[in-house]
A = this chain, B = another copy of it.
Amino acid sequence: MHFTSEKRLEDGVLEREFVLGEVPGVLWTPESVSTPVPLILNGHPGGLRKMYPRLAGRARSCVAGGYAAATIELPGAGDRPPLPTVDEARADLRRALKAGEPVTGDIVDRLVLPLVEQAVPEWRATLDALLELPEIGGPVGYSGGVISIGTRLAVVEPRISAAVLFAGSYVPRSMLDEARQVTIPVHVMLQWDDEGNDRQHALDLFDAFGSKEKTLHANMGGHTGIPPYEAEAAGRFLARHLK
Contacts and interface: CB of A to CB of B under 8 A. Distances in A.
Interface string A174-217: 00000000000000000010000000000100110001111111
Interface in A15-60: none
Q: Report whether over half of chain A's contact residues are helix, strand or loop; otherwise say mixed.
A: mixed
A203 B216 CA distance: 12
A219 B229 contact: no
Nearest to A206: B218
A220 B214 contact: yes
A231 interface: no
A215 B219 contact: yes
A97 B207 CA distance: 22
Contact of A212 (B217, B220, B229, B240): B220
The interface size bin for chain A is 10 to 19
A215 B212 contact: no
A64 interface: no
Quickly give the copy total for this chain.
Answer: 2
Contacts of A229: 236, 240
A47 to B, nearest CB: 29
A213 B207 contact: no
A210 to B, nearest CB: 11
A229 B216 CA distance: 13
A231 to B, nearest CB: 13
Contacts of A217: 215-217
A213 B217 CA distance: 13
Contact of A219 (B214, B220, B233, B240): B214
A207 B214 CA distance: 21
A203 B206 CA distance: 13
A242 to B, nearest CB: 15
Interface of A: 192, 203, 206-207, 211-220, 227, 229, 233, 236, 240
